[in-house]
Structures are given as C-alpha cells and as structure tokens.
Amino acid sequence: MSSHLSSAITQEQWERVVQLCQGSPKEAKKWTTRHGLFEGIKDANVLPIHEALVAGAPYPIIEALVNAYPDCVFCKESSYQRLPLHCACRKNALPDVVDLLLRKYADGALTPDSLGRLPLHYALSNGANPNIINCILRHRPNSARGFDKRGWTPLHVACGVGADISVIKSIIDCYPEAVLMRTNKGSTAKQCLSLTNAANKSDVKQMLQDIYTEVEKNYRPAQEIKSERVLC
C-alpha cells in the first residue's frame, strides 16, 4: 500500500512532501512497491527518496527526505540494487542534489548496481552536466576505475556518448590507464568514438591517441609488479 508521502511524491505535491517529512519523518522510512518504476517493466520496492529522484524532485525535496531519514542514502531499491545516488545520476539530477548525496555517502560513488554500473556510468550515459561529473570525481576519483558487467569503464561510456572533451580529460586525469582498457567485446575507448557523431570527435580521438602512446610506454600490469615483489 502506498504511504501518504509516496502518494504526494507521485503527484508531485512538493509542499505536501516537505510538510510530511517535517511532521511525520517516519514516513520517509516506509518502503513501497512501485510497478514499472524502471523502464516500465520491473517492479521495485523503494523508499520515498528513490521515488522522488526518479520523479526529478527539486533540491529542497531531496534535502527534506534526507533530513527525515538520514540512512536513506545507504538504501538500495530491489530491482537493480540502485542507491539514491544511482537514481539521481540516471535522471540527470541537478549538481546540488548529487553533491548532497555524495556528502552524505561518498562511497556510494564506488557502489555498483546489479548491472555493475556505478553512478558515474549513468551520469555519463545520460549526458550529465560536466559539473556533476567533476563533483563525483572530486569526491571519489577512483570511480573512474569502475567497469560494468560488459567491461565498460566510464571512459568507454564518455567516448560512446560523445561527452565534452573536458569531461573525458577529467576521467583520464583520474585514471590514465583507462585508454588501454578494453570492453568484454574488445573495444578501446577510442574505438567507442565510432558510436557518436559529436563535433569534437577528431579532437578527442587525437587526445586519446597521444595519451595511449604515452601510457602504453609506462604501463605495467599489476600481476607483473606483484611477481617482482614476490621474487624480491
């Protein structure tokens, strides 16, 4: 059964949502089954914060929900095991919303969903504001090292969707070796550029090639380094 808070979110009655969060904070802890919340096909058990983020609720609503139930930032919905941060990045939430969630649970940026995707994967695939990408990387630079179950790193995604060259550079700054990584089907980030007709394609391609050449010279697999340490 839908809670009063869930119903208010579904109807986008934002003033009512804030009132309920302040007057009945326990409502923010109630789980609800939502039909077809993701892609319109899978049912999911969710908290009000998941619903609000999927609905694109403004910052004051997300702040009210977090204040009412601070632990909500650690909670995963049931269908794809997504945190609120995943939901925010999938819906291209405003930078201040993403920053709030990261300040409350920065390691959420390193948490994969059931598809192996990090929030950064979703932010990139949905054409997020560069400020959001930089916010995620600032809180957890290692999120640039993540890869999903298809072997796609954030750099693969960024190149595949034609992200701004500044975004691609930010990812590479955090993880230069990403230019060498291949997806499960063998594609490098440079090869993923074939998926887009972005105006900056030639510039990105040249940058990737330059970095690839430099990184390849110095790259040493972790296993090789580990073997040397054992021998020593």
pLDDT in tens, 69-90: 999 999 999 999 999 999 999 9
Distance CA 46, CA 32 (A): 5
d(CA 160, CA 180): 15
Structural contact between residues 110 and 144, judged by C-beta atoms closer than 8 angstroms: no
What tokens were used for 188? 């490098």
Q: What confidence score (pLDDT) does residue 200 get?
A: 87
pTM given for the model = 0.91
With 90 as the cut, is the pLDDT of residue 217 above it? no
Nearest residue to 117 (alpha-carbon basis) of 138, 97, 147 = 147
Residue 174 has pLDDT above 80, yes or no: yes
Task: Delimit the domains of the chain by residue range.
Answer: 1-79, 106-218
At 117, list the tokens. Answer: 């995707």
Find the farthest-apart pair of alpha carbons in the chain and give their distance in angstroms, rounded.
Answer: 66
| Token output for 11 | 């109807």
pLDDT at 187: 95
CATH topology classification for 106-218: 1.25.40
